[in-house]
Every structure is written in C-alpha cells, then in structure tokens.
Amino acid sequence: MATKGNQFFASQAWVQGAWAKDVLLEVDASGHWSRIVIDAAPDIVRDAQRLDGPVLPGVVNAHSHAFQRAIAGLTEYGARSGQDNFWSWRQRMYAVAQRIMPDQLEAIATMLYTELLAGGYTQVCEFHYLHNASVHAPQASALDLSMALVRAAQRSGIGLTLLPTLYMRSGFAATGLRADQQRFACTPDSIARLVQDLQTATRGMAQVNLGVALHSLRAVTPQALTQLAAFADAQGLPIHIHIAEQPQEVQDCIAHTGQRPIEWLLAHAALHPRWNLVHATHATQAELDGVRASGASIVICPTTEANLGDGVFDYTGYCAQGGSWSIGSDSHVSRAWNEELRLLEYGQRLTRGQRNVAAQSGASNSSAANMLQALLRSAQAATALPLGGLQLGQRADCVVLDPASPALCGMPSAHLLDAQVFSSPGSASLGVCVGGQWQTPVVAGPWAQDFARTLAAIFA
C-alpha cells in the first residue's frame, strides 16, 4: 500500500472504542498520532492520503517464542496410549531448540514476524531464552542469538520488545538444568548484562525496546527473581513470567513452597502494572483478584493453550471487574490476533453454555469491541510503549482492512469488527502502519523460501 505525507483520511476508523466516520489521522515526526479529527470536513482532508478500507488500531502480541514457529504443524501425531500432553510436546520442542543456529533463528523469525504483521499485530514481545551455544550451533552467543531476532523484526517492519529470559533450573527441587536445557542457562547478572549490551547494540533502531522475563517459578530461585525484578524496576522495564499454565506445575509449587504459583508470587514479589503473567490458566478466584488489585496484567494465549491441552482461562472471573489482560500467539500455531480472540470467546461459550461472554465485561454490548479495547488498554503494560490505539500521543500503528474480502463483503459498517473477529478467517490487510511507516507484509516470496530451506536443514 503506497502512502506519502503525514496525513491520512479513513472513511471509517476505530476511535475510542467505536467506529468513527470520516477520520483525519496525522502523524508527527516521531511517528505518533498528533492530530485526529472525526467527521472531518472536506476542506480539512483535501490533501490527506485516502486509505482504501476501514482502519483498526495495531495490536500487541504480548507473548512469542519465535523459534517454535519451526514446529507449528509438526507435533500433531499423538501416542496411542493417550499420554501426549504439554510435557511430551516440550520434549519435541527442546529437540528443535538444540539445533537452531543464529542465521536459522533469523530466517524463522523473519517469516514469523511478517506473518504476525499480516495478521494485524504491530508489536511483538519476544520471550527469548535461547542464549548459549549447542553442539549444532557451537559459535552462537547470547548477543548473536538476540540480534538475530532484532534483525528479523527490522527486516519485517514489526515493532519488537525483546525479553531476555532468566532460566536457571529444571524444577523446584533441582539445583540446575538438564543436559537438554543448557542452551537456556543464565543468571540474573548475565541477563542484566545482555539487556545492557542490547540497549547499546539497538540504540537508534526504530521500534525496538527491551524488557526482561523470568521463565517460571520452577525455573528460577526466589533470590534470582527478586534480583532481576529489581534490575527491571530500576530501568522501568516490563517484566514477564510464565505461571500456572499446567496442573502439574501448580501441584509441584504447592509441594515445594506450600503455596500455589500465583499465590506465592503475590506474597513474595511486589507486583505492579509492568508485570505480565503469562497463561495463569489454573488460578483461583482469590489469586485472580490479587493480580487485578496489583495492577499487573495476564497474557492469555488461546490457540497455544488449546493446542497444548492447558485448559481454559477463567475470563469471566478475572474480567468481570476489569482485570487487565493481553494476548499472545506463544508457539504460533496461529499468527492472527482475531483468531486468538475468537478462540478465547468460544472457549468461554463452550465451558459456560452461553453466548457473547465478553459482551458482559466491558462498556460495549459487542464481545469483539470489549476484547479489542482490553488489548489496547494493556498494551503499555506489556511493552512499556504508548500503543493504545488511535489516540493522540500514541504510536502511529494501524491496519487497513480490505472491505471486499469475504468476511467483510456486504457487512453493515457497525458490524465490521464483529465480522473481523467472528467470521473466519477475517479480512486480509491492505496495509499496516508501524510508527508512521507503512508496510505491505508479503508472506510468500524470498522470506518464505529462506524459511523453507531453514526447516529442511533443521530437520535433515
């Protein structure tokens, strides 16, 4: 989608939680929205570039493991014993993690990030724990592997919040990592140094920033968690952590600490609005209330949680009183935000025997509208960036939908968002804007060829 100048005109755009007509959007030199006019008069928009379809805000993908895109579709043969679960899937994932070299990681991530951009995401939070060399990648360093992801984001055009991840032990009772986890080994000090090295290496790069992650309570010591969280707090960085994804994880935590995972975190970490708790699938109402009271956010990953058999998040219990949440595509069995929202809502419908569950938890009677607004409200918590949608001062991110696509064709204007989310597969984008720069993500072509060659080499 070719555009020029810094003023754009949309006949329909999603502003302040609703569709607005005849909207002028102006971008300043820093790539943020500097002027938004609804019902703009013809003389105001005369020199603006006209956009060819309805405009939605860009969405943050708050949880990504880029390398796992390599196994999407390759783990769907189960054991006849019926014992295939998260833990058996993890062993297959580890086998691939051992083989990936920095250039291969870049090829995989470039393909993935282009797909995410095409799917309506304009920022991705990369929960990154491939830090060390392996037999298959003997020359790899933590900085090399991290910069492979940075280059992939820059090539694709998506924004990146890179989260170097602390991973120290194989379980609550362990003193270290297993042999197949050594690529992940690090300390709070090494993660802090990596963040600082990356801050230097990425200085001046558009749409790249840093945070930190703690893999999980089972993978870090309490002292290490406190140390890395203090480092992040001193720099104002977002903090992400996997938590309460699987029943076994909850049981192990109780056995070794006397508390459930989120219960322990609430008691021992000073949670605040820059904390992001990934999954929280197996949480009590008291735990969800505690997370909500702390101001922290929960990152729900519906397609991955379904693929791995994790369970269904208690959306109603958490969101009825305004709990903050975002979405992530995690293992990337899906790469579009509307598919994550659709499955989130459908999971609630299936377990509760009701329709339009999300319509009960927000200002609108539209499920899609309430879910999208929740994503926009949580964007800064996940990224520490102003990514709250089409509002003054927010980064100029948006997606132009194709009104002629099957999902939207003939749809009344008031229901375009509903169709985008619930009429599968949704509309393709005509263009995506990230920080005021227009992109046309093309999934087919050289990057797809690099991706295919990379997979062939990994699985040879």
The residues annotated as belonging to the active site are: 279, 330
Three-class SS string for the chain? Answer: CCCCCCEEEEEEEEECCEEEEEEEEEECCCCEEEEEECCCCCCCCCCCEECCCCEEECEEEEEECHHHHHHCCCCCCCCCCCCCCHHHHHHHHHHHHCCCCHHHHHHHHHHHHHHHHHCCEEEEEEEECCCCCCCCCCCCCHHHHHHHHHHHHHHHCCEEEEEEEECCCCCCCCCCCCHHHHHHCCCHHHHHHHHHHHHHHCCCCCCEEECEEECCHHHCCHHHHHHHHHHHHHHCCCEEEEECCCHHHHHHHHHHHCCCHHHHHHHHCCCCCCEEEEECCCCCHHHHHHHHHHCCEEEECHHHHHHCCCCCCCHHHHHCCCCEEEECCECCCCCCHHHHHHHHHHHHHHHHCCCCCHHHCCCCCCHHHHHHHHHHHHHHHHHCCCCCCCCCCCECCEEEECCCCCCCCCCCHHHHHHHHHHCCCCCCEEEEEECCEEECCCCCCHHHHHHHHHHHHHCC
In which residue are the tokens 């009590």 written? 284
Closest CA to 325 of 373, 283, 253: 373
N-term to C-term CA, the chain? 38
Residue environment code for 261-296, b if the CB has 16+ CB neighbours within 10 A, otherwise e: bbbbbbeebebeebbbbbbbbbbeeebbbbbbebeb
